[in-house]
Chains A and B, each alone.
Chain A
Amino acid sequence: MKILALVGTNANFSYNRILLRFMKKHFKQMADIEIYEISKLPAFSVDVPLEEQTEVWKLKQKVKEADGVVFSTPEYDHGIPSALKSAIEWLSYHTEVLKHKPVMVVGVSYGRQASARSQVQMRQILISPDCDANLLPGNEVLIGGASRVFSKDGRLINADMRDNLEKCFTNFVEYIQVFQNIDEEEVKMPIKRPTISDAYINFPTGRMTLKEVQQIFSTIPFEIDLVDSSDRFAWYSDKPNREHVRNVASLNEPITECHPPKAVPIVTKIINSFRDGEKDVVTRPLWMHGHRSLIQYYALRDIDGHYLGTIEFTGNVEYILNLFENGAWGDKPDATTGASNNGANEEGNTTAVVDASTGASQSSSDDNAAPSAPAEDGNDDADASTGASESGSVDADDESADATTGASQN
């Protein structure tokens, strides 16, 4: 069992440190106690920059790894020392490392009160909602008269106090085990409430929560609509200020119903060309709401190529075009050396890298564009999509259709 023990003061000399050292040695068969010095932490402030929080991060890791945490607190002015309060603030600000963590409070003082008042305060703080720790109730370790009850070599020599400490620490270890043995399902079944906790979607390249997935779709500057393999409108991204305003009432409608009649033949043609494997992407530049937009339809395919549906990818490209028109990319870098010679913007030392994720489908969008892509790429780091997009990948058939019927796309 791993226990983290925080010395509740930043003073060089402290009987609370001596107590924890004694506990570490005395209880070595029961637990592995690691003593942590809070003097290493910066003073808490919401304005401390992240790069100065390395030690805070380390402490949070230690708390996470520990089965339980012991706080040994002195008493300053009837309260816990500001240094200890500062440590607790770090452990409860934008973090939940103390949430449901078994914790125990002990304390030493010179006088008779034995830090009793600061221990009460410490307990109140630990059970406040921001900390939400599992505090060991009762089990008061009040060690007063510090200079008399400890030997010069740091042993607790008062027998009554030692017996009490042994009893209390044993109770703490048992208390920790109670929580370790809880079966989450057993706890939740009586409440009759289905839950999905820690629901992650595990991708081969990492995991995301459902919320993250949703918010990524709401954040990227393109809107996405999905028509599933049975040609029904299955989903749209909940992006603010959409070019195409969608409504949940349209969900699950066949494409023939959710599109204006004039647009249906074009849409059907595109989808059929995807299902047949004839095309993978169709691109349509359009004026929408007074600005230049780009709509791209992509065939959504399983890794084995099986048709899963069609996604419509729509974005206002005015910003990108303005960047281009203002020379944001500068001149094209020298592909043979990979070195910048014209002050062009580059990522690292390679040629400017365009988004890799759409490369495959885009390069096959236009019969003319695909072969040109490899030729453009002088080195391994360049992306196939660079070539395709530079050549202005537009489906010739649909371009003319859009120019006239663009307004009806909505």
Chain B
Amino acid sequence: MKIAAIAGSNANHSYNRMLLEFIAKDLRDTDDVDVIDIRKVPLFNENYKGKTPEVVADIDRRVAAADAVIIASPEYNHSITSALKSMIEWLSYELHPLENKPVMIIGASTHEQGSSRSQVQLRDILISPGVNAHVFQGEEFFMSNVADMIDEDGNITDEGTISFLNKCISEFKPYAEAINGMVAKKEAADN
């Protein structure tokens, strides 16, 4: 299964990006993970109508090519980062690669809450009609106190966290397959 993994921060040092890179490199059962870095994405602006920046078009192609999407969200002010919101606005304006796409939300933060509030908000945004993604509703992966959980080489140091992450992804994959099957069937019927 091909997974596009969007890191929801534009900070040069981002635990959420490290988390996705860990999934891409080290997690079992994840064969093909494309980690998407949003640092170069400009702030969304409606004035760009008809002039989608190339960096956005590139991400659109990578998301569209994936069977499923994982988004790792930090939390700023009890909400998702402006950088991630901007990315989603680009992907729900003239391009719609997230439409009908199975998405799993995960997140890490340096505090106790582990980005839980931003994840709730991100879910709301992803299921709004402009985005219209299918958000996985099983497990919730909140990584608290992440500074103590990921070492400098990007390895998760806690075995329990790794096995839970494995569990989440292994439950997400059949969900994604089911959604993709349903969508394909519906598209075939519409044609």
Query: Hey, which bits of chain A sit against chain B, CB under 8 A?
Result: 9-12, 39, 43-47, 76-83, 85-86, 88-89, 92, 117, 121, 124-125, 128, 130-131
Contact = CB atoms under 8 A, between A and B. Distances in A.
Given A76-B130, A77-B125, A77-B128, A125 B78 contact: yes
B42 A77 contact: no
A83 B83 contact: no
Contacts of B77: 88-89, 92, 125, 128, 130-131
A interface majority secondary structure: loop
Interface in B75-119: 76-86, 88-89, 92
B86 A82 contact: yes
B124 A44 contact: no
B121 interface: yes
Nearest to A11: B46
A345 B46 CA distance: 54
B131 interface: yes
B47 interface: yes
A128 B77 CA distance: 6
A43 B10 CA distance: 10
A43 B78 contact: no
Contacts of B82: 43-44, 82-83, 85-86, 88-89
Q: Which of B43, B44, B128 has its CB near the most chain A CB atoms (within 10 A)?
A: B43
B191 interface: no
A130 B130 contact: no
Contacts of B39: 45
B79 A121 contact: yes
A128 B121 CA distance: 14
Contact of A81 (B80, B89, B128, B130): B89
B182 interface: no
Nearest to B122: A79
Contacts of B10: 43-45, 47
Task: For the complex of A and B, list the 8 residue pairs with the smallest distance between their C-beta atoms, beginning with the closest.
Answer: A82-B86, A86-B82, A43-B43, A82-B85, A85-B82, A128-B78, A78-B128, A11-B46
Contacts of A76: 44, 85, 89, 92, 130
Q: Which of A45, A77, A81, A88 has its CB near the most chain B CB atoms (within 10 A)?
A: A77
Given A85-B81, A88-B77, A79 B47 contact: no
Contacts of A9: 46
Given A43-B10, A81-B44, A128 B79 contact: yes
Nearest to B130: A77
Given A10-B43, A43-B43, A78-B128, A85 B11 contact: no
Contacts of A92: 76-77
A77 B89 contact: yes
B120 to A, nearest CB: 10
Q: Which of A39, A82, A92, A124 has its CB near the most chain B CB atoms (within 10 A)?
A: A82
Nearest to B39: A45
Nearest to A93: B76
Contact of A86 (B43, B124, B125): B43
Contacts of A46: 11-12
B33 to A, nearest CB: 24
Contacts of A124: 78-79
B125 A78 contact: yes
A11 B82 CA distance: 16
Contact of B121 (A79, A82, A88, A89): A79
A46 B84 CA distance: 14
Given A77-B92, A79-B121, A92-B76, 11 more contacts: A9-B46, A10-B43, A11-B47, A12-B47, A43-B86, A79-B128, A83-B44, A88-B77, A89-B81, A124-B78, A130-B76
Contacts of B157: none
Interface string B7-19: 0001110000000
A323 B121 CA distance: 57
Contacts of A88: 77, 82
29 contacts: A9-B46, A10-B47, A11-B45, A11-B47, A12-B46, A12-B47, A43-B42, A47-B10, A76-B85, A76-B89, A77-B88, A77-B128, A78-B125, A79-B125, A81-B44, A81-B89, A82-B44, A82-B85, A83-B43, A83-B82, A85-B82, A85-B85, A86-B43, A86-B82, A86-B83, A88-B82, A89-B77, A121-B121, A128-B79
Contacts of A117: 124
Nearest to A86: B82
B46 A44 contact: no
B174 to A, nearest CB: 27
